[in-house]
Chain A
Amino acid sequence: MSIAELKAKHRLIREWNYTPGQIFRGYNNRTLYVNLTDNTIAEKPVTQHMKDKFVGGKGFGLKLLWDGTKPETKWNDPENEIVISPGPCAGITQYSGAGKSLVVSISPQTDSIMDSNVGGYFGPYMKFNGFDAIELQGKAQKDVIIIIDGRTNKVTIEEAPAEAMDSHILAEQLTEMYALDEKDKINIAVVSAGSAADHSLIGMLNFSFYDPRRKLCRLKQAGRGGIGSVFRDKKIKALVAIGTGLKGDLNNVADMKAIQERGQRFNKEMKLDDQQCEMRTKGTAHLMEIMNQYDLLPTKNFQYGRDDSQIANIHSEVFKSKFTQTWKNLEGCWFGCSMSCAKAVDGFELKTGPYKGQKVIVDGPEYETAAGLGSNCGIFDADHIIEANFYCDTYGVCTITVGTATAFVMECYENGILNKERTGGLELNFGNSSSALELLHQMARGEGFGLIAGKGVRYMKNYFAEKGWGDIKFMNDIGMENKGLEYSQYVSKESLAQQGGYAMTNKGPQHDEAWLIFMDMVNNQIPTFENKAEALHYFPMFRTWFGLQGFCKLPWNDIEPENNRQTAEPAKVPEHVESYVIIYNAVTGNNIDKHELIRQSERVYNFQRVFNIRRGYGLRKHDAQPYRAAGPVTKAEYLSREAFYDKQLKELVNFDPAGKSLEERMSVMRKYREDRYEQLLDAVYERRGWTKNGVPKIEHLKNIGMDLPEVIEVVRPLQ
């Protein structure tokens, strides 16, 4: 069907005209509200109070979601919302990594608050079209697209029955449909999910950015927590933002010169990239052999941290050879980003699935994807990883989640919890590439064992136990989820701080709050509970700030200024922190310092914790971790590092392992590690100003200026 024929099948449901936006210092001071049940389209004001307390990005998302839902709202209730907000600094092109959006919703996986950050053009274009956020509520009767048209200043809801569901086709169709000509395609941004998001709880959202050199749409993902499944439950096929072209200062900032100066300084630093992380040539895949070297690369469902015999097959040089190395490698997911880590494999010929034989572009794989779909499933095959990456993206499911869920299935299979009969014929041993891919195709088709795996690890554990297939205690130990969300791809066993960095997160175990493994496990910089608690205060608060503003985390510490090593706290990259303070002030005209930066985050972070509590979560028991995250569950795991663990027993636990049975050694080790995690919780809660049950204290909320009546009402009975 031609693009014209696809468009002819659209049926206009609602059209709403708006006055053009007038951004002043990073804000339009209004958000867009769309209700798909009654087809309301409206704007809402952004008050000074909202900016002071919630800043933007995730803060705005949480505020709107709090106001729009009830404590008992379920993920698939019409009143659940998806909020996308880029933040006040989003869209500047003079400093690298400033095109991010934050997406929040009530998650089908955790039944609580999910946030996921993403690049691509939609967030900034929506902002330049006049809105600081879009709030999607209600459910459509039939598949719809929502178009925010900056050319005509109209928002429309249209039934769109004929376009493809899978993102690699849909993004191209809608870009072609709404662009005036080839040159204009760069002004079109599409948000979409995919066919697996229809049949699973782990759906994600693709945000497009048009690549004029390749003449193709590229895709970035808001992956975590099933927000793509919420999107499809609302029968949204796509969002489209039609931009009108970029100019130098669309944010109407307070001090452009200051931003330019910091931007130029950063661009010069990027010349060091070849000697540092090689982000321009490898992206985050540069981490593959590093994580293997330090026993951090999840292998076979996080049992092990390395596989020296096979790492060469998924070494970063392998991915580098497969990524197209373009002119100066300037490939960013937003304009002006000199980090340019958005790598892609061109002309990849698919070997399986509905698009078998076709040559496609694959965005990535990034480290998390390669580790999750590869080593963690025991599949050390770069082409498998690229193929699975492509299908996860176009089907609209999270690569991290699919990786961890498949790895769990494989360990269950190898332990007899699953077998061929129970999986409908799939032989899901570790290393079985074809079965892993077929499982993914089943998710997209909504059939077979793929329907079960697509509900995530927490669901599977309970389902297998109810069926009498396996011991729930063992599955709780090896099922790598916390709060219902699957772990991202680092082995945390030997870093107590990272165990907290994962399991004490607001949304579930994603590394975007804190990555402390080197500081803790390798550098031995934070040996005491107090040290670890300080790190688990500072870094989550600092990193939350990126998601309030529209910044990407990577330019913060995937490149270091030459003199960073001479600073007092090189792990914080002080010069970059200073740059962020300067840029925020230069955009907004405010005057914060690095302490107020943390305070901005602390307000939103605590609000999110209280939001979880409002929904019946967010307490100490919800910060519990599976034992696999903390120590060796199986004999094979212990024996794989027997001398190392025995030494720890002797030196740290004061327990002589000589002559003791393996079971006894494992039991003593487990008690030691579980006790230490409890002590860590105490220390971190204390540092964060929370009670021993993990509830923010009223006094602390007052101190940070987040003592809003609705917040106090939730925490008061729990003090």
Chain B
Amino acid sequence: MERTITVNGNVIEWSEGMTVADVLNVMKYTFKLLVIHVNDEIIKREEWPSTLVPQGAEVKVIHLMSGG
């Protein structure tokens, strides 16, 4: 299996021990109103730093609208 994950349809490199918070850092997603699914499972905000993202995972980082 390739050492990648998919984030919002974009393929990015995966590394051992990668957490949800790491994914946000890599993607430079700084917006506050986010809903995050890892393989269709919702991850609570307080669990982002500790939740590991498995190799090959499909991550959805849904930015909710504000402003505009």
* A-to-B contact residues, CB < 8 Å: 275-277, 284, 286-287, 289-291, 293-294, 367, 490, 511, 515-519, 522-525, 527, 557-558, 560, 564-566, 570-571, 573
Shortest Cβ distance from residue A518 to the other chain B in the assembled complex, whole angstroms: 4
Question: 8 interchain pairs (CB within 8 A)?
Answer: A276-B32, A277-B32, A515-B65, A518-B64, A524-B9, A558-B67, A570-B64, A571-B65
Q: Using a CB-CB cutoff of 8 Å, which residues 40-65 of chain B contact chain A?
A: 42, 60-65
Q: Is the CB of B32 within 8 A of A293?
A: no
Complex Cα distance, B62 from A525, in Å, reads 8
**Closest CB in chain A relative to B7 CB, distance in Å:** 9
Contact of A511 among B29, B33, B64, B68 (CB under 8 A): B68
Find chain B residues with CB under 8 A from A284 CB. Answer: 67
Consensus secondary structure, chain B interface: loop
Chain A residues, CB < 8 A from B32: 275-277
A570 touches B9 (CB 8 A): no
Which of A524, A571, A573 lies in contact with B8, CB distance below 8 A? A524
The minimal Cβ–Cβ distance linking A465 to chain B, given in whole angstroms, is: 33
In the complex, B66 has a CB within 8 A of chain A:
yes
Max chain A Cβ within 10 angstroms of own Cβ: one of B8, B29, B33, B61:
B33
Contact B31 A515 (CB under 8 A): no
Candidate in B30, B33, B66 with the most chain A CB atoms within 10 angstroms = B66
On chain B, the residues within 8 Å of A525 by CB distance are: 62
- Chain A residues with Cβ below 8 Å from B42 are 565-566
Question: Which listed residue, A287, A516, A557, touches B64 by the CB 8 Å rule?
Answer: A557
Say yes or no for B12: interface residue by CB 8 A criterion.
no
Q: B68: which of A286, A515, A524 is its contact (CB, 8 Å)?
A: A515
Q: Are B66 and A565 neighbours in the complex by a CB distance under 8 Å?
A: no
CB atoms of B31 and A560 under 8 A apart:
no
Which chain B residues lie closer than 8 Å to A523 at the CB level? 8, 60-63
B17 vs chain A, min Cβ distance (A):
25
- Distance from A367 Cβ to chain B, minimum over Cβ atoms (Å): 6
B: interface residue count bin: 20 to 34
Q: How far is the CA of A289 from the CA of B68 in the complex (A)?
A: 15
Q: How far is the CA of A557 from the CA of B66 in the complex (A)?
A: 5
Q: Min CB distance, B5 to chain A, in Å?
A: 14
Please indicate the chain B residues that have their CB under 8 angstroms from the CB of A367 in the complex.
67
CB-defined contacts of B28 to chain A, threshold 8 Å:
293
Quote the shortest CB–CB distance from A136 to chain B (angstroms): 30
Q: Name the residue of chain A whose CB is nearest to the CB of B31.
A: A290
A294 touches B31 (CB 8 A): yes
B31: chain A residues at CB < 8 Å are 290, 293-294, 518
**B-side contacts of A277, CB under 8 Å:** 32-33, 66-67
Assess whether A560 is in contact with B33, with CB atoms less than 8 Å apart: yes
- Contacts A277-B32, A560-B33, A566-B42; is A519 near B65 (CB within 8 Å)? yes
A385 to B59, CA, bound (A): 39
Note all chain B residues with C-beta closer than 8 A to A275: 32
Q: How far is the CB of A702 from chain B (nearest CB, A)?
A: 33
Residues of B within 8 A of A570 (CB): 35, 62, 64
4 nearest A-B residue pairs (beta carbon):
A515-B68, A518-B63, A565-B35, A524-B9
Q: Which residue of A277, A289, A519, A524 has the most chain B CB atoms within 10 A of its CB atom?
A: A524
The answer to whether B67 touches A560, judged by C-beta atoms less than 8 angstroms apart, is no
Contacts A293-B31, A515-B67 aside, 12 further interface pairs with beta carbons under 8 A come to A277-B32, A287-B66, A290-B30, A290-B31, A293-B28, A490-B68, A511-B68, A516-B65, A525-B62, A557-B65, A560-B33, A570-B64
Determine the residue in chain A with the shortest Cβ distance to B63: A518
Give A287 to B64 CA distance when docked, in angstroms: 13
A518 to B63, CA, bound (A): 6
Q: Which residues from chain B contact A287 at a C-beta distance below 8 Å? A: 66-67
- Complex alpha-carbon distance, A621 and B31, angstroms: 36
